[in-house]
């Protein structure tokens, strides 16, 4: 699933997603293209594998997962025999079209959060509309004749546009596929400048999703 071995950021969910670990109930607290952070009953062991299943827009999404780390966070009833754990898991293998559905879920969630942030921010309606248009179209052009990536890096208040072969996201700024429209990306740079720390992380996450289609 991850030929280039890059690690994707996870999206912290304001409302956890109900899921199952094999047959046991679980909550997805964070999710990304590489894995998830779960709350579940009982304990787990690093290296343990199971099937994580949930639904998105009425369709099943399922991955074979491997536990990377786990921690008991509390006991139910105080008797020490009903633990609740938090486990970080890696997606080992998708089942069916799980990757495509997960991409749609994450893009939908990120854009909803960014739309809500823009609605609450000061500024004129035209600039917000322009930003919304860019975010909605990011990754949509799919102009395959242009290969590689462009990294937009913000340093000391100035943007540096750096061609690169790597899809990795910089600490400040974002990396997108080289086919994205430059005028629209200029608007996205302004959106990034005006965003808070959470908004910038979400823009990087959305840019990261767009690079998967190269």
Instruction: Give CA separation, 60 vs 12, 39, 124, 166, in Å.
Output: 21, 20, 40, 32
Query: Which CATH topology does 10-96 take?
Result: Thrombin, subunit H (2.40.10)
Pick from 68-77, 126-135, 170-179: least confident: 126-135
CB atoms within 10 A of CB 163: 9
Instruction: Give CA separation, 160 vs 138, 190, 211, in Å.
Output: 19, 13, 19
3-state secondary structure of 159: strand
Q: What H or E segment, with its residue span, contains residue 189?
A: helix 182-194
pLDDT of residue 124 exceeding 50: no
Which of the two residues, 64 and 1, has the higher pLDDT score?
64
**0.85 exceeded by pTM:** no
Domain ranges of the chain: 10-96, 101-213
**The pLDDT of residue 196:** 85
CA angle 163, 170, 136 (to 5 degrees): 80
How far, in whole angstroms, is CA 83 from its chain's centroid? 29
Q: How confident is the model at residue 84 (pLDDT cuts 50, 70, 90)?
A: very high
The 8 Å CB, 24+ separation contacts for 75-80 are 76/41
Pick from 8-17, 112-121, 124-133: least confident: 124-133
Contacts of 71 (CB under 8 A, 6+ apart): 85, 86, 87
Question: Residue 10 in contact with residue 37, Cβ under 8 Å?
Answer: yes
Distance CA 190, CA 204 (A): 14
What are residue 17's DSSP bridge partners? 28
């Amino acid at each position: 699933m991850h030929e280039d071995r890059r690690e994707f950021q996870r999206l912290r969910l304001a409302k956890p997603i109900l899921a199952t670990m094999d047959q046991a109930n679980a909550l997805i607290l964070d999710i990304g293209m590489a894995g998830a952070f779960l709350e579940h009953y009982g304990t787990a062991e690093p290296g343990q594998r199971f099937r994580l299943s949930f639904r998105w827009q009425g369709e099943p999404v399922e991955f074979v997962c491997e536990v990377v780390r786990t921690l008991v966070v509390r006991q139910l009833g105080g008797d020490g025999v009903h633990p609740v754990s938090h486990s970080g898991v890696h997606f080992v293998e998708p089942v069916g079209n799980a990757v495509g559905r997960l991409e749609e879920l994450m893009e939908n969630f990120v854009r909803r959060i960014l739309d809500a942030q823009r609605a609450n921010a000061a500024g004129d309606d035209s600039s917000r509309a322009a930003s919304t248009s860019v975010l909605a179209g990011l990754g949509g052009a799919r102009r395959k004749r242009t290969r590689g990536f462009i990294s937009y890096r913000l340093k000391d208040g100035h943007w540096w546009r750096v061609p690169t072969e790597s899809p990795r996201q910089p600490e400040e700024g974002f990396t997108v596929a080289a086919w994205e429209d430059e005028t629209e990306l200029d608007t996205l740079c302004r959106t990034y400048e005006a965003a808070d720390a959470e908004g910038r992380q979400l823009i990087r996450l959305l840019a990261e999703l767009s690079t998967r289609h190269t």
